[in-house]
Chain A
Amino acid sequence: MTVFHFFNCAILTFGPHAVYYSATPLSEYDTLGTSVKAAVVYLATALVKLVCLATFLKVSESDSFDPYQEFLKALIGFIDVAGLYFALTQLTHRNISQNHKFQAVGLGWAFADSVLHRLAPLWVGARGLEFTWEYILQGLEANANLVLSISLAGLGSLMWLRKNKPKTLIPIIYLSAVIVATMPSITSYLRRGLGWHLPKVVGFELFTSLVMAFISWQLFAACQRPSA
């Protein structure tokens, strides 16, 4: 049941990415190159974040929630946003519509994130004899992360790529973007400061990702109307 369990958790963690790619028109327009480029940008961003974390953060002995450290981590988290900006605007994409561009970038981003953060623990842990729910919850977290990444990429494309936006919607767009970007800090506050257990935290992540995805979708549709 060990390799079987690993296989199960792997398809839970990485399956949705493949399904998303093949189910939506992304596969028809062959946007794989964009996703790969976005994944590479994510790797570079992760490296930069690592260096910053190592330089500016001090190692805390206790597992409690230190506001100052968390604030620093959130600031460093904005490097993520900068990386996403770079991927959306600076990379030369072939002629793909903006609609598909942000989806491809978000997909590549989320896939790289899952591979980097979840593949190694899965390989080492899920193949043992001991059964824990941890890896299934991790897979669900990967799903929530996919939705969040695509929402963030969508909001990012709205912010930086679309020139004429309805004035009233601009603050909402920026607010949603900030919320999505600070999701990691929020979850770590929940886990450490409030002491929520993993299933609860994952449930919260799933719920908020769906909510934010819905909001971004509505914003995108609203911004699409004038130019269409």
Chain B
Amino acid sequence: MWKNTFFLFFILSACAEELCKPDASNGYKVRLSLKTALGDDAYTWNKNEMFLFQSTLAFAMRTSHTGQSYEISNIVVCNETDRVSFWFVVTSPGNPTELVENYIVEEAIRKSRHRINSAFLLTDKTLEFVGILPTLATPVSYDTPPWLIVFGVLMGIIVAGIIVLLASSIVKRKRKTRRTDEEEADEETRVKTMDNGVYNMSFSVEDKLTQM
């Protein structure tokens, strides 16, 4: 009996091996970029990490495909490379020789993408499922675009500065005209008393007449 069980298991695993191959119709390629994501803190990819992957994927399948209890053995992996990339297929829990359709797998992965990423401390970019595009985040939309705020602040400061400068020059000019009016009044009385009232032209500095 043991021999039969062993034989059956062998056949089953052999079948599973055949089910999983690169470019399998219902399989997906996974690519991990550990060094890019984690740098020096990157963990080494080994059998234990692969076990975690299989269990996480089984969890994803269970959550999405309700009613079916997927086991780790249903996640078949093959073609591991140094890149840390591999192919996997998902077999149906009822019938281990039958592959689950790719759209069901895709939906499961999409739903639990964030959980899968977190299990490996990776992101959508560093844990790639080739062929499954991550759902893009909603673009952040602002009520007031940030550039307008900075613009408003700067514009306000500059306009305030101009007003201050213009106001100060107007005030200065008013003060000067008041003072020159007073001075002119004094000069007139002085001129009347000192001169005969004749303005001597030879002492004026007229550049316009001596231009080249």
Task: Verify that A and B bind, or say they do not.
Answer: no
